[in-house]
Structure 1
Amino acid sequence: MLATVLIALFLAGLIFGALHDVASMTIPNWLSIAFAVLFPVGALILGVPLVTIGWHILAGFIALLICFGLFSIGVFGGGDAKLIPAVMVCVGPAGAMAFVYGLALTGGLLAILILMSRRFVPSHAVPGFLQRSVVEGPGIPYAVAIAFGGVWAIPASPVLFQIFSASALNSLTML
């Protein structure tokens, strides 16, 4: 049951962050805090070894240092620079490369789509909830790429995959 709640919160948080970023070009701080805090607590309750949880926290800390550097030179916005390390805490070191790969691939495609939209789609044809990210700002709603990267990393992250698998098994046995 807890596994189902944790994976649902993980996925819901990713989706919420992506939609919020698209609509407002911001990512709430509480979302990053929730990822960074809820994963270690949930993993501890599920019996994940402390050493493994420690490695996940270390992966998030290393990502925070890298993202802080990228934020300071203007590559990322502040919300992106906080959400990436928070999600990295969840995916851990084993899922880090898959997360970064999914993030970079999706982010590149998203940037191309947004830039093409800004150039070729008239602003009056863009739906209201996309106005802020597609028409108005120079930035890219990168939480969309972070969300795809987080989902992409689930199979590569032993802890997340175990939680996801346990959740799926629970759902099947309830049928």
Structure 2
Amino acid sequence: MTEAAILVIFPFAMVFAATSDLLSMTIQNRVSLVLVLSFAVLAPLTGMPWDVYGMHFVAGAAVLAATFALFAAGTMGGGDAKLMTATAIWLGWNLELVQYLLSLSVFGGMLTLAILRYRSSFLAQAYTQKFEFLRRLAKKDEGVPYGIALGLAGLLVFPSSPLGLWVVERLAQN
């Protein structure tokens, strides 16, 4: 049961956040809340030592401090900051967190370049009338749905995270 919850909750939240941000330019608060609460409940069920458990929340606090500063400076959306924080809690204070931050930077850069190119392309004019989210992406004063990069990076790193590895070990034993 714990294995199934871990394998469903985190990936689903990442996909939902990415899709939601693409379609509506928002990441709902409940996504981050579900991630934090589910980690708080599931991690002890895996036998995770309490000091490691605490360090997962330290990772979240560190990411929250950094993203809060970026949000206050107007360079990051609040939903992105909350999702990054919740993801950091799931990944923990380890190399997977560094890999996540580097991956989301690369994916975010590629996404930003792709959207900027789209905004100046013929496609932005030709197809924006058919789909609301494409009209929003075509607006030059609109932001970038960075939740897509956050979701992709989370999905990339999750299998090597402590909870991802715990599930793989459990499944290999059966």
Counterparts in 2 of 1:14 and 1:133: CA distance versus 1, 3 Å: farther
Confirm or deny: 8 A CA contact 2:124 2:134 kept in the other structure.
Answer: no
Please list, as runs of the form range in 1=range in 2, the aligned pairs for 1:12-161 lying within 5 A after superposition. 12-94=12-94, 95-120=96-121, 121-126=123-128, 128=131, 130-131=133-134, 133-136=136-139, 138-161=142-165
RMSD: 1.9
Q: Would you say the 8 A contact 1:4–1:167 is kept in 2?
A: no
d(CA) in 2 for partners of 1:63, 1:69: 10
> In 2 relative to 1, CA 156–46 (structure 1 residues): closer, same or farther, beyond 3 Å?
closer
Aligned residues of 1:107 and 1:142 also touching (Cα < 8 A): yes
> 4+ residue runs of structure 1 moved beyond 4 angstroms?
none
Structure 2 regions of 5+ residues with no counterpart? none
Are the equivalent residues in 2 in contact too, given 1:7–1:167 (CA < 8 A)? no
Instruction: Judge conservation of contact 2:17–2:147 (CA < 8 Å) in 1.
Output: yes
Separation of aligned partners in 2, 1:122 and 1:19:
19
Residues in 1 aligned to 2:136 and 2:82: alpha-carbon distance in whole angstroms = 19
Q: Secondary structure at the match of 2:85?
A: helix
The number of residue pairs the alignment matches comes to 170
- CA shift at 1:46, angstroms? 1.9
| CA distance 1:133–1:143, change in 2 (3 Å) | farther
Shift of 1:6: 1.4
Q: Structure 2: how far apart are the matches of 1:122 and 1:96?
A: 35
CA distance in 2, matches of 1:80, 1:22: 12
Alpha-carbon distance in 2 for matches of 1:167, 1:78: 36
Alignment CA distance shift 1:129-1:17 (3 Å): farther
TM-score by length of 2: 0.89
Distance 1:11 1:41 in 2: 17
> Larger % of helix: which?
1
- 1:43-95 deviations in Å (ceiling 9; x for gaps): 11221111111000110011000000011111111100111011100011111
TM-score normalised per structure 1: 0.89
- Does 33-42 or 20-29 show the bigger shift? 33-42
> Is 132-141 or 54-63 further displaced after alignment?
132-141
Looking at structure 1, the residues matched to 136 and 149 of structure 2 have their Cα atoms a distance apart, in angstroms, of 14
